[in-house]
Amino acid sequence: MTSKVKRPKTAAERRVRVNQILRGLDQMYPNVTCALHHGNAWELLVATILSAQCTDKRVNEVTPGLFAKYPTPRDFAAVRPEVLAQDIRSTGFFNNKAKSIVGAAQKVLRDFGGKVPQTMEEMLSVPGAARKTANVVLGTAYGIAVGVVVDTHVQRVSRRLDLTKQTDPVKIEQDLMKIVPQDRWILFSHQIIHHGRALCQARKPRCAECLLDPVCYAKDKTA
């Protein structure tokens, strides 16, 4: 249906609308966190690499056995990628993911004393860690807000909510960082991701159940 929600025209009106969106997210998802199960920053890095083109549910099914077999970065660094690939086969793109994980383990051991680094610059030097992965690890494992996680849910929902008109994840992140307060970046990412799974789904968003409906004028809203 075509939404009749009034679009904000001024910068002040846009700020008011963003605050309404943030309050709505707080009401719907007050205490959400990363859906990937992990015990430390290294395990989260591995899980995030595995989550590319794969559901978090599937990753969470694979990682318990994986981390039992390879408990530390040193164990991952020592395994041949073709062997690791078979352990993660069900997550898809397993050959590339195995190379990235082994390379990440070797990098972490060689350059960072076996600990996942805590800056964006250092994270981006780790195989398999682009900005999304780096933001997940820095935000969730260390509580460091240097950016906004932009996965497929964040891309879709932020465009539906007219928080950005961009399609490139890096440009979407830049837009979100301008309008969302920095102390909200970590929680905002988790909230939008959960919202994309729970209500603002790709094929048929459940708008009638959404607290953001009064401030949303997406063209594909449902009755």
Residues forming the active site: 132, 151
In terms of phi and psi (left: phi > 0; alpha: psi -120 to 50; beta: otherwise), the region of 115 is beta
Between the alpha carbon of residue 134 and those of residues 49, 149, 152, the distances in Å are 10, 8, 16
Where does the chain have alpha helices with state H? 11-28, 41-50, 56-69, 73-78, 81-87, 94-112, 120-123, 131-136, 142, 152-160, 169-179, 185-198
Determine the Cα angle at 98 with ends 124 and 202, to 5°.
75
Q: Are 19 and 159 in contact (CB under 8 A)?
A: no
Residue 59 tokens, joined: 């990753």
User: Nearest to residue 162, comparing CAs of 172, 170, 152?
Assistant: 172
